[in-house]
Amino acid sequence: MNEPREVKLDDSGLRILWDDGHSSYYPHRYLRAECRCAGCVEEMSGRRLVTLENIREDVQALDWDTVGRYALQFLWTDGHTTGIYPFDLLRQVCQCEQCVKR
């Protein structure tokens, strides 16, 4: 499993440099919409409760922390704090030019 070597937040989004050399990018709003916590996704059905359309255009991650050795967690300007983003999910939803083309 790949792990982040470097994590940076800026005004446009989150950038992760992975230990395999890949550089990922995630716009703030897009990343917020990818949250899979029970408040954002119905546990029994898997139906998304919070969608991109429900998220303010100006939402930003203010800070982040690691969860164990497998995930990141973010503090969002909309007050959301419960989402855990496993490293494998972050790699799957990467929005860098190379990954979007796939």
User: Which tens digits make up the pLDDT trace of 90-99?
Assistant: 999 999 999 9
Give pTM, 2 decimals: 0.92
Segment 37-65 shows an average pLDDT of 96
Q: What secondary structure letter does DSSP report for 54?
A: G
> What's the confidence (pLDDT) of residue 2?
87
Q: Within 10 Å of residue 94's Cβ, how many Cβ atoms?
A: 19
What whole-number distance in Å separates Cα of residue 13 and Cα of residue 30? 9
What whole-number distance in Å separates Cα of residue 54 and Cα of residue 51? 5
User: Which tens digits make up the pLDDT trace of 3-40?
Assistant: 999 999 999 999 999 999 999 999 999 999 999 999 99
Phi, psi (5° rounding) for residue 20?
-90, 5
Look up residue 48 and give its two tokens: 């998304």
pLDDT level of residue 1 (50, 70, 90 thresholds): confident
Q: Is the pLDDT of residue 85 over 90?
A: yes
Q: What residue type is 43 in one-letter code? A: E
